[in-house]
Amino acid sequence: MNLIDTHAHLTYDGLAESIDDVLERSIAAGVTKWISIGTDAEHNEKVVSLAEKYQNLYACLGIHPHHASEYQPLHIQRIIELVGSGKVVALGETGLDFHYNFSKQDAQKDLFKKFLEIASLTRLPVVIHSRNAFEETMRILENYADKTTKFVFHCYSGTIEQTREIIHKGYYVSFTGIITFKNAEIARDCVKTVPLERMMIETDCPYMSPEPMRKQKINEPALLVYTAQKIAELKGVDIETLAEQLERNTKEFFGI
C-alpha cells in the first residue's frame, strides 16, 4: 500500500527533531510520500530544505491566514524564488480563518488573493485553509482565481450542501482524522458525498491524531492509515483499491 500524506507540518516541533524515525515509521505503515506544508517565512525555508533531503517528500509553500498580519512583500518574493527549486509542488496553505481571527479579516483576504495571483503565474495548485469562512472563500475563488488553477480544501469539515458546491466547482477535498472522531457524523456524511476521484487524505500532523490513537499528543504520517481505513469502510471499498485511487488523485493534483 502506498498512501500519500498530502498535508503534514513536518518542520514543526515534535516531528522535526526526529524526522528520520517519523518517516521510517510512516513507510513501515504504508504511507510512503509526504507533502510538507509551509505556514510562514521561516517554515517555508525549512520545508524546502527537507524536501531537498528526502526523495519522496515534497514542498508546499504558503502563509497561513493566522499570519496574514505579519506578511511582508519580501515573503512572497522569496516564495516565488523558491518555486524554482524543483521540489515545490503547490502553494499554501492559504485562505481564510474567521474562527480564530488571529489576523484581521481584510489582511487575510488580501493575502489570499495575492496567493491566487502567484498560483496563476506559477501554474501551481493551491492548498486552501478555510474555517468559518466558506462563502467568502468561494466568492474570492470565483472572482480572483484563474479558472485553470486546481484547488483542494484541506482538513475538510463542512456541511453536505457546501461539499456539493465544492465538488460542483471542480475542486478537491482532503480529509483528516476528524472523520474518525466519535461526534463527527456530518464529516462522515461528507466522505460519502465526495466522489472517490475528487478526494485526498492528510494527517495535518502534528495536530489531530485519529481514533483509536487520538490520545497520542503528536500526530504523525504513520497514523494516516486509520483515516484511510475509515474512508474505505464508509465508501465500501477495500483499502488497497482506495489507496490506489487516492494515489492517482494526489499525483494528478500535485503533478508528482
Residues between 64 and 103 with contacts to Zn ion, criterion CB under 5 A: 93
How many Cα atoms occupy the beta-carbon half-sphere of 74 within 13 Å? 1
| Residues in contact with Zn ion, shown as a per-residue x/- string from 28 to 67 under the rule CB under 5 A | ----------------------------------------
CB nearer to Zn ion: pick between 93 and 247 = 93
Residues between 143 and 202 with contacts to Zn ion, criterion CB under 5 A: none
- Closest CB 145 distance from Zn ion, rounded Å: 18
C-alpha cell at position 82: 523558491
CB nearer to Zn ion: pick between 14 and 245 = 14
- Closest CB 203 distance from Zn ion, rounded Å: 10
- Closest CB 244 distance from Zn ion, rounded Å: 25
What DSSP designation does 17 have?
Answer: G
Query: Which pairing describes strands 126-131 and 151-153: parallel, antiparallel, or unpaired?
Result: parallel
129 is a site residue for Zn ion (CB under 5 A) = yes
CB nearer to Zn ion: pick between 70 and 238 = 70
C-alpha cell at position 216: 497520542
- Closest CB 60 distance from Zn ion, rounded Å: 10
Cβ atoms within 10 Å of 178's Cβ, excluding its own: 19
Residue 135 CA to residue 47 CA, distance in Å, equals 31
- Closest CB 152 distance from Zn ion, rounded Å: 11
CB nearer to Zn ion: pick between 129 and 150 = 129
Residues between 224 and 243 with contacts to Zn ion, criterion CB under 5 A: none
Q: Which long-range contacts link 164-171 to residues 24+ away (Cβ below 8 Å)?
A: 164/193, 165/138, 167/193, 167/194, 167/195, 167/198, 169/138, 169/141, 171/141, 171/198
How many Cα atoms occupy the beta-carbon half-sphere of 116 within 13 Å? 23
- Closest CB 239 distance from Zn ion, rounded Å: 25
Residue 53 CA to residue 2 CA, distance in Å, equals 20
CB nearer to Zn ion: pick between 33 and 129 = 129
Binding residues vs Zn ion (CB under 5 A): 93, 129
